Structure formats: C-alpha cells, structure tokens
Amino acid sequence: MIKRLLFHSLQFALLCLALLAAVAVYYKFAYASFVYSLGVSYQFVLDRIFNFLSIAAATYFFSYIAGLVKFTIEDNYFRLVNYFKELFKLLLILVMVAFIEFLIFYKAQIGRLIYVYFFILYGLYYLLYMRLRTRGGTRNLLWMAPAPAEQILAKYLKKPNGFHVIRTDREREEAGLQPYVVYQDGHIDEATTEALIKSKLAGYTVMELEELIEKETGRIPLDYVNIHWFLENFEVADRSFFRLNRFFNIIMSFILLLLLFPPGLLAALAHKLFSRGPLFFIQQRQGLHGKPFGMIKFRTMVQGAEKNGAQFSGKNDPRITPIGKFMRRLRIDEIPQFINILKGNMSMVGPRPERGVFIDSLSKEIPYYKLRLLAPPGLTGWAQVNGVYAGNNTEDHKVKLEYDLFYIKNRNIFMDLLILLRTIPTMLQGRGE
C-alpha cells in the first residue's frame, strides 16, 4: 500500500513538473528571455495555484482511469504501438480537461497552447520512461517446456544471450531469482501443473512457449501452435476498426496517388523506352477470403516473362530489367496499387497479395497458410518491414506467414501506423518484398 502510494505521489509530482514546464515553454515564446519566462511562469502558477492543481489532479485522475499511468508495456514489438495508443489517450484526456477548465475557470484560464506543450512534454517523458524500463539486461526463464530451450532461443530470438535459462525450481530458489515461467501446452504432467500453479501464486509471470516467442519476435511460431490455439486467440476485429481503416485507406491512397503517380509514370515511361511491352502489368491475385482481383503494377520485367509458366521472382531474377530493379527497390512499381486500395481490393497495410496457384501450392506444404486470407491484402505489411523476402524457398514463406498471422491476430490502427512509418526506412534500404 505504501509502495503504491509513493508511486502515485511521485507520478503526480512529475505530472505537475511537466505542467509547470509547459507553462514555462508557453511564456518562453511570449518573452525573449528564458530566465524571465521562468519567473513569470512561477508567478502565474502561484496566482492560480488552485486552478493549476485542479487541472493536474483532473489530468492524473483521467490518466489513471485510462490506464496511462500504469506503464505496463512489456512486449518487444508492441512498445511503439502502445506508445501511440497511450499518446492518443493522453490527447483525449487533455481535450477533456481543457473543456472542464474552460467551464469552471473561464475567468482565469490557463492558455490553450499550454495543453499542446504539456502533451509534447508528457509524451517525451513517457517515451523516456518506456526506454529506461525496457533497457537490456539478462532476463531469467524458468524452463518447464520439453522443447529444447537453447535451440528455440537460437532459432527465433535475435539476442538469445539476453536470456538465462533455469532448469529447476530449486535452482531458482538458490539463486533468489524472479523469472518468467515458460511451459508448453499439451506437455503438462501432474508435477509440472503443481509447479506452474505454485509459480503463479508466488507472483511470477507464467507464459506459454508460443506466447514468449510471439512477444519477443512479432511472429506466431507455427511449429508450436495448433487449431485449439487459433480458436482461442483469433478474434473478429472490431467493426469500428474496419470503418476507420477504410476511411484511412481512401484518404491516404488518394493523396499518395496524386503525389507519387506523376514521378512513377515518368519512371515507367523511361522503362518502356528500353524494354518492349505494356506500361502497366495486371495480374490476378487473391484478396480477402480468397476473392480474386486484378492487381495493377508498373511493368518491371521483360515482355513474356512467364511464357514458361508461373514462377516466383527472386532477388537476382534475370527477367527483371535494370530499370525495373531500380523501380522495385524504391517500390515505384507498386504505385498503381493505390488504385486497388481506392477500389477496396487492397488495404494500405496487410499481408501481401499472392497468386492463387502459389497459395494452393504453399498451403500443401505449410500448415494454416490460407489463414493469411483472413485480412485484406496490403501494399505493405508486418513481414515486409521485418525484412522478409520470400522467393522459391518454402521456409521463407513459412516465416513470412508467421509474421502475417501475428499481424492478423494483433492488428489495430496504431499498428498500421507503426508499419507505415517503418515502411519508409525499409523501402530506402531495399529490404523486404
């Protein structure tokens, strides 16, 4: 109780300091001298101390109700997504507090711009706190799964050395550690059941093996999930997400089509000068629930590239022309797909659309492959920003599917925003597909 009280007292004090800093920044833009603005802001707060504390208390109360002051971000690949979420909640809270302040303290208002500065400062503070909280350091895993720990950590995790594996509960007690307890569903005997319950009651974080991999890698490990896992974890996305997503797709694709189509057309015309064939390339792909549609691209290959039948394009595909390679590297060839997005065949973010012949072939080799059709195909996706390029290698397609399923399970408008932001450096570096 005392610990919690101290935590909230410290958070409230930091919130007041952030609000005071926002007032100082507000007056800094009004007066040339920063030292003078500090004095003015201090006097401003003294004159309106009740007003100031009331606003700080209201902000903290609504932030606490919204879960903003709990700082429970742990997932490796969701830190930035959750940061966007929390900032959005903070923005709504400050709008609400500003409205309350206007109604109650209309004769002695705090300037409207102060709320803008407060939003920026508190957002930076929240980012700093998140960075400090999630900094490296070795994490301890009490391993209760039959699957080999070192092999799994080396296969899935970029930094397997960041984990220390504990084999027995006795070893944990002797070391005095508080680990994450990892178990594997379907492989739990009576002794393991008892140990898991004891760990849970002791306050340790207990998680399934696939949950650990999902949180640390942003992938759904297909080797360790089954149909029961999908039935428990896959849910229908909220209708509001689809409405907001469609609105966002129309606005963004329309703006980007106006901005990017003219330079893209110039590149396509330059390609046509050195390579015979049509300007555009329309290919049948499968969309949401396997519905076929014609995906539009600027042509980047030689004419008659598939005269020997359908085949995956590779990184050094001889069918791709020199100008076509440049267009693919900067994703210029995909600019016409904004038309597909406007028509509703595609989304800005989602699993990349694939051809029916390849889907039928890969679904025979990779379990649950057709589940990627549960989301509208996207111009960019979670697999692409994680640098996955799947050519003729079935294992690469499996990894790509693991990223796609992660996106389908966790998709929301904030994750879409994160993927779009990460697409820019991915595109410039020429990574992904």
Q: Tell me the sheet residues that pair with 165.
A: 141
The pLDDT tens digits of the residues spanning 330-364 come to 888 899 999 999 999 999 999 999 998 899 999 99
- Residue 117 CA to residue 432 CA, distance in Å, equals 38
Q: Say which CATH topology domain 139-217 has.
A: Rossmann fold (3.40.50)
Q: What is the DSSP letter of 179?
A: P
- Helical ranges in 234-288 per DSSP H: 239-274
Copy the structure tokens of residue 414: 């904030």
- Residue 44 CA to residue 3 CA, distance in Å, equals 33
Report which of 356, 349, 409, 413 is spatially closest to residue 384, judged by C-alpha positions.
349
Instruction: Give me the residues of the chain with pLDDT under 50, please.
Output: 71-74
For 289, how many CA atoms within 13 A lie in the half-sphere containing its CB? 0
Place of tokens 């109604």: 103
User: According to the model, what pLDDT value does residue 259 have?
Assistant: 92
User: Which DSSP helix (H) or strand (E) runs through 276?
Assistant: none
Residues 209, 391, 420, 83, Cα dihedral to 10°: 20
| Alpha-carbon distances, residue 6 vs 2, 10, 13, 16, 72 (angstroms) | 6, 6, 10, 15, 18
The CA angle 333-337-342, to the nearest 5 degrees, is: 155
Contact criterion met (CB below 8 Å) for 19 and 55: yes
The CA angle 389-225-146, to the nearest 5 degrees, is: 110
Three-state DSSP state, 354: strand
Contact criterion met (CB below 8 Å) for 191 and 197: no
The pLDDT tens digits of the residues spanning 143-197 come to 888 888 888 888 887 666 678 888 776 777 666 677 788 888 877 878 888 888 8
Q: What is the chain's length?
A: 433
The CA angle 284-397-370, to the nearest 5 degrees, is: 60
Q: What is the DSSP letter of 301?
A: B
For 281, how many CA atoms within 13 A lie in the half-sphere containing its CB? 22
| Alpha-carbon distances, residue 91 vs 12, 79, 118, 393 (angstroms) | 18, 18, 10, 46
DSSP code string of 200-240: HHTT-EEEEHHHHHHHHHSS--GGG--HHHHHHH--PPPHH
Sheet of 139-143, strands arranged across: 163-166, 139-143, 180-183, 205-208
Q: What is the pTM of this model?
A: 0.76
| Alpha-carbon distances, residue 376 vs 168, 289, 352, 401, 415 (angstroms) | 45, 8, 9, 14, 15
User: According to the model, what pLDDT value does residue 132 have?
Assistant: 66
Q: Tell me the sheet residues that pair with 297.
A: 281
Copy the structure tokens of residue 309: 């039948």
Three-state DSSP state, 349: strand
Q: What is the DSSP letter of 286?
A: E
Place of tokens 């039928």: 360
- Residue 282 CA to residue 277 CA, distance in Å, equals 13
What is the domain partition of the chain in residue ranges? Answer: 2-133, 139-217, 239-429
Contact criterion met (CB below 8 Å) for 76 and 216: yes
- Residue 181 CA to residue 139 CA, distance in Å, equals 11
